[in-house]
Amino acid sequence: MRTAFLTLLLIHSAIHLLWFAHAFDWIDLPYLKKEIPGMVGFSWLLAASFFLWSALQVGRQKPKWFLQALIGVLLSQMWIFSAWEDTRFGSLANLIILAGILVGYAKWSFEERFQADAESLLEFTKKSDQILTEEDLKPLPLIVSDYIRRCGALGKEIVKNFRLEFEGEMRQLGKPWFSFSSEQYNFIPNPARLFFMKGRVKGLSVWGYHSYQPPNARMVIRALSLFPQLNIESPEMYPTETVTFLNDLCLFAPGALADERITWEQLDASSVRATLILKDIQVSATLYFDATGDLVNFRSEDRYDVSKMERFPFTTPVKDFREFDGIRLPSYGEAVWHYPEGAFSYGKFRLKAVHYNVPDTNFPDREESGRVI
């Protein structure tokens, strides 16, 4: 769709350049019967310039391309009305571009809400030079403290927040996989998790925003960032997103497991139960470790499948450990529901980047993340 829209912008700008050339008798367009004043000709050149500028922004996947396109449409349509008999078919192209502008603005606005929420929470994240020490690990089961050492978190700065980027595939029960990319921020001292996903289903962009700021949790899914597909803010979302928050700590911020809000129970030589207790909620999960000490699975009974609004066992098997921002983490994982009729994997996640204790949302790669048509 983005390629088709880009092509339309280029063709429309080329037509305006032809009209400009005709106004100054550089070429002859027989179908233009009305005499075109020089001022109108320059206006068409200006409109073409805005369309070309917008096309360049679309090609570079810049988020605010629609501003230049809107100016181009206004200039174009104003002079199309002045020569309606000869140029009226240009209105159709302007109408299509205007629809694209509406979608572009909706996408920018939807994602900007996520970025604004993240920036607001980051402002309240205090800078800390505290280092994770052996003393911090003493209350933990040996298998957990060994896991933290193995990941390389010992001796590093205590994590206050972290940012994750994923690529992968998701699906709903009975439906095919669709690809997605995502960006998220997690905040630890005052728990919060903001997850923004960009998917493409049958060629149509479908974006989603999960906001977890206890005691509130909400999930919004929109097609073209305009048309609501899901908007869930039910009581079941709170424990569900709290489990996800705990899952993120276990897999992607192992040093943060040295937290007095998490209690531990050793189950056997290769598994422990972690219980996260916040002010008004408590969730638990079982962590499974392999013979080398890597955390290879996470299982909780406290998460709701929001499509059914029922609790089912939830697991996240992971593998392929490698280093991200100085910490050894799994680079691949799945999200699996365990229904009575069998296991159903609904998400495949490939970790692309991790950043710990980020000061703000200004990452150079953000604008290259495909936020246009």
Whether residue 19 lies inside any domain: the answer is: yes
Per residue of the chain (373 residues), give pLDDT as tens: 778 888 988 998 888 788 777 677 677 666 665 666 666 667 878 889 999 999 988 888 888 899 999 999 998 888 777 666 666 777 899 899 999 999 999 999 999 999 999 999 998 887 778 999 999 999 999 999 999 999 999 999 999 999 999 999 999 998 999 999 999 999 999 999 999 999 999 888 999 999 999 999 999 999 988 888 889 999 999 999 999 999 999 999 999 999 999 999 999 999 999 999 998 999 999 999 999 999 999 999 999 998 888 999 999 999 999 999 999 999 999 999 999 999 999 999 999 999 999 988 876 655 444 443 4
Same domain for 83 and 177, yes or no, is no
Residues whose CB falls within 8 Å of the CB of residue 217, separated by 6 or more in sequence, listed in order: 210, 211, 233, 237, 238, 240, 241, 242
Residues 77, 165, single domain; the answer is no
Domain that holds residue 14: 2-103
User: One-letter amino acid identity for 326?
Assistant: G
Co-location of 48 and 144 in the same domain: no
Triad 368, 321, 364: Cα angle to 5°: 20
CB atoms near residue 168 (< 10 Å) = 22
Report if residue 112 sits inside a domain: no
Tell me, yes or no, whether 92 and 141 share the same domain: no
In-domain check, residue 118: no
List of residues 6+ apart from 144 with CB closer than 8 A: 257, 264, 272, 287
End-to-end CA distance of the chain: 6
Q: How many domains is the chain built from?
A: 2
Instruction: Check which CATH number belongs to the domain holding 326 and give it.
Output: 2.50.20
- What Rg, from alpha-carbon coordinates, does the chain have? 26
Query: 92 with 144, same domain?
Result: no
